[in-house]
């Protein structure tokens, strides 16, 4: 984890104060606590200054870098530039040895020098040759060209602001706030993230109207003051479900790619640990990692006394099976509340209810000296692990006239679900058959959660765009999975994971997001992923000889979360939540429908959990509004 930041004047006559660069960089210090570097230019084409900005001298262009030492590349500011090229880089290049060989570079060449050499040889297209996770910016002082890139699935962040003939960029949103002149809130974004579970990010939007995100797989370049964005990588829907591999051969290939991805993403540094939930994905990673490492793998897990959140039985089984050294964390309600207050600033967005558990895991790993934590993000999106995928699969069977397969699937579901649950699944599958994805999400907005916002706020928020979710030329399951990767759940989870790990100076990695593995998964027939009532069919088949049988066959995997909504808000944290809901800032903010929220709050206190998640969203959102001084 490192922090990058900078600005360039789009008009060569314009200048900005150098101290502005330092202010932006300082707000990313937590991402890179080990070293700092600056490069500034007074005029276009002038020599770079590497001194730390200490006064408001006018400059044309500036770059700031905060370095996280992962223990394998010795840092020196000189490695960030060569032959007029200057690099800012956050991430890891997993195929560095192969690239060094193809470029005839020494083995001890740093990743920064490797990237600059690759850019010199292959130009903008060099990013297509990278395997890894990254955000990077290259300033070519010879041609006055700024080049920015983000990895294929958005593991590492980059945001930007175009304002008053200047272009600013940074790793995190908060870094740009000191220079943001118009702090208008994106009301539709705020409404959308509260009304749809797990949809905190949407396309290039942020909660600030003027600040944008460079989307996954995009490059942004500036030449002669002109900004251009283009996509260098995106999953191709024309290749979805086109594979002719047999299930047996597809399973072998899936396992081969998965093993290779774990190997590549854990080759460096030595100080790497595993986040272990007790489920299929993290246990499979641990199984492979334990064979790659000569010493026992360290794992970090959270648990809570509530039965649906207590995974100790399976966590212990996994640790014992692979002789791993496990650390168990059980954050208290008070610790979780403090995390909510403290971590909202680091997160840039309202904090998810599971983040306190995530923070405890990252913090414990960092305190034990680890630099990288590897986890299982992405698997559910690739191989239909979410229950909503089942509705789309059944809808596809009905739409394509595969009635025998549909009847067989429903029979299998009936053995595992109660009649009421079966009827609910049939009804939701029917909705998936009738409506496009955007309409399904709008129905969720309308019916699943109550409306917590005031009438005045809703005037500017209602009608939030959802059209990016519609992909009419592919199957419903593929469309759902594609949206999970780019528009809904995965981008939010990666955002949380990046910010929570950065908060403690740690780097997170997700081997399921190797693009070759992702492409394979999307190329496979839906029947390779779903075998109702279970998903992740090919994943289970691929790892069946790697993980303990009780973990492979379990059907009761708990969510990775906390008892925030189920218990804490009603018990240990009741007084704190009530104090916030009745505070002057809450009541005078103009954002909330006060009477409805208090009605739902009383119903929740009386044991009704239906609106617990929305009440938490209101709580987290108001803390965000206060933290970022919106109210």
Burial of 539 (0-12, 13-18, 19+ CB in 10 A): buried
Q: 403 with 538: CB under 8 angstroms?
A: no
Q: How much of the chain exceeds pLDDT 70, in percent? A: 99
Q: How much of the chain exceeds pLDDT 90, in percent? A: 84
Measured distance CA(262)–CA(298) in Å, rounded: 15
Burial of 104 (0-12, 13-18, 19+ CB in 10 A): exposed
Measured distance CA(299)–CA(321) in Å, rounded: 13
Measured distance CA(101)–CA(98) in Å, rounded: 5
Domain coordinates in residue numbering, the chain: 3-231, 237-339+350-382+489-553, 388-486, 564-627
Residue pLDDT, tens place only, 148-169: 999 999 999 999 999 999 999 9
Measured distance CA(340)–CA(569) in Å, rounded: 13
**How far from the centroid of its chain's Cα atoms is residue 527's Cα?**
27
As a whole number, mean pLDDT of residues 562-570 equals 93
Residue pLDDT, tens place only, 512-528: 999 999 999 999 999 99
Per-residue pLDDT at 124: 93
Measured distance CA(510)–CA(95) in Å, rounded: 15
Q: Which CATH class is domain 3-231?
A: alpha beta
pLDDT > 80? residue 398? yes
Measured distance CA(333)–CA(329) in Å, rounded: 13
The H or E element that residue 14 is part of is none
pLDDT > 80? residue 328? yes
Per-residue pLDDT at 268: 82
pLDDT > 70? residue 73? no
Topology match between the domains 3-231 and 237-339+350-382+489-553: no
pLDDT > 90? residue 480? yes
pLDDT > 90? residue 188? yes
Per-residue confidence band for 597, with pLDDT thresholds at 50, 70 and 90: very high
- Those residues whose C-beta lies under 8 Å from the C-beta of residue 75, and which sit 6 or more positions away, are 34, 35, 67, 69
SS3 of 604-624 = HHCCCCCCHHHHHHHHHHHHH
Per-residue pLDDT at 557: 66
Per-residue confidence band for 534, with pLDDT thresholds at 50, 70 and 90: confident
Q: In what order do the strands lie in the sheet with 61-67?
A: 35-41, 61-67, 3-9, 166-170, 159-163, 211-213
C-alpha dihedral, 234 to 235 to 237 to 238, nearest 10°: 90
Reported pTM: 0.95
CATH topology of domain 237-339+350-382+489-553: Rossmann fold (3.40.50)
Q: Angle formed by the axes of helices 594-605 and 612-627, to 10°? A: 130
Per-residue pLDDT at 265: 95
In sequence order, the β-bridge partners of residue 9 are 166
CB contact burial 221-248 (16+ within 10 A = b; e otherwise)? bbeeeeeeeeeebebeeeebbebebeee
Pairing label, strands 61-67, 3-9: antiparallel
pLDDT > 80? residue 457? yes
Residue pLDDT, tens place only, 95-146: 999 999 999 999 889 999 999 999 999 999 999 999 999 999 999 999 999 9
Ramachandran region, residue 214 (left: φ > 0; alpha: ψ -120 to 50; beta: rest): beta
CB contact burial 470-500 (16+ within 10 A = b; e otherwise)? ebeebbbbbbbbbbbbbbbbbbbbbbbbbbb
Per-residue pLDDT at 559: 65
């Amino acid at each position: 984890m490192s922090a990058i930041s900078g600005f360039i004047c789009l008009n060569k006559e314009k200048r900005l104060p150098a101290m502005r660069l330092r202010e932006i960089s300082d707000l990313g210090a937590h991402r890179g606590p080990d070293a700092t570097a600056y490069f500034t230019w007074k005029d276009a084409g002038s020599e770079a200054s590497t001194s730390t900005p200490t006064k408001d001298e006018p400059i044309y262009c500036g770059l700031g870098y905060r370095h996280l030492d992962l223990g394998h590349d010795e840092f020196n500011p000189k490695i960030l530039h060569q032959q007029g090229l200057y690099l800012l880089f956050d991430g890891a290049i997993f195929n560095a040895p192969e690239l060094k060989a193809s470029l005839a570079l020494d083995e001890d060449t740093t990743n920064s020098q490797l990237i600059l050499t690759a850019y010199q040889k292959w130009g903008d297209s060099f990013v297509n040759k990278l395997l890894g996770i990254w955000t990077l910016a290259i300033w070519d002082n010879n041609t006055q060209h700024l080049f920015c890139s983000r990895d294929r699935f958005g593991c590492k962040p980059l945001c930007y602001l175009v304002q008053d003939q200047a272009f600013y960029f940074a790793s995190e949103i908060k870094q740009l706030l000191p220079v943001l002149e118009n702090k208008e809130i994106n009301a539709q974004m705020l409404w959308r993230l509260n009304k749809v579970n797990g949809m905190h990010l949407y396309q290039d939007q942020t909660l600030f109207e003027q600040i944008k995100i460079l989307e996954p797989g995009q490059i942004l370049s500036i030449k002669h003051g002109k900004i251009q964005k283009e996509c260098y990588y995106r999953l191709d829907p024309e290749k979805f479900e086109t594979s002719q591999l047999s299930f047996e051969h597809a399973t072998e290939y899936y396992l081969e790619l998965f093993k290779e991805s774990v190997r590549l993403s854990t080759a460096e540094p030595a100080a790497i640990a595993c986040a272990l939930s007790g489920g299929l994905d993290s246990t499979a990673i641990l199984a492979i990692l334990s064979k790659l490492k000569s010493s026992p793998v360290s794992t970090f897990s959270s648990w809570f006394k509530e039965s649906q959140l207590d995974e100790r039985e399976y966590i212990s089984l996994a640790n014992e099976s692979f002789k791993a050294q496990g650390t168990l964390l059980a954050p208290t309600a008070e610790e979780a509340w403090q995390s909510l207050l403290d971590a909202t600033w680091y997160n840039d967005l309202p904090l998810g209810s599971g983040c306190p558990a995530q923070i405890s895991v990252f913090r414990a790993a960092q305190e034990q000296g680890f630099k990288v934590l590897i986890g299982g993000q992405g698997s559910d999106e690739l191989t239909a692990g979410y229950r909503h995928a089942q509705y789309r699969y059944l809808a596809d069977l009905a739409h394509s006239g595969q009635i025998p397969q549909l009847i067989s699937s429903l029979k299998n579901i009936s053995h595992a679900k109660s009649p009421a649950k079966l009827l609910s699944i049939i009804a939701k599958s029917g909705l998936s058959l009738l409506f496009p994805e955007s309409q399904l999400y709008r129905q969720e907005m309308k019916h699943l959660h109550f409306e917590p916002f005031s009438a005045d706020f809703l005037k500017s928020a209602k009608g939030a765009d959802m059209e990016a979710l519609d992909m009419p030329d592919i199957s419903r399951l593929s469309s759902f999975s594609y949206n999970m990767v780019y528009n809904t759940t995965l981008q939010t989870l990666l955002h949380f994971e990046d910010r929570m790990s950065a908060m403690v100076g740690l780097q997170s990695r997700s081997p399921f997001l190797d693009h070759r593995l992702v492409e394979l998964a999307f190329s496979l027939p839906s029947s390779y992923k779903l075998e109702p009532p279970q998903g992740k069919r090919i994943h289970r088949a691929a790892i069946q000889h790697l993980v303990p049988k009780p973990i492979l066959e379990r059907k009761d995997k708990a969510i990775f979360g906390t008892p925030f909504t189920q218990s804490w808000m009603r018990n240990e944290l009741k007084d704190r939540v009530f104090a916030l809901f009745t505070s002057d800032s809450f009541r005078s903010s103009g954002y909330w429908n006060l009477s409805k929220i208090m009605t739902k709050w009383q119903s929740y206190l009386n044991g009704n959990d239906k609106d617990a998640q929305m009440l938490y969203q209101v709580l987290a959102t108001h803390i965000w509004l206060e933290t970022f001084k919106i109210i």
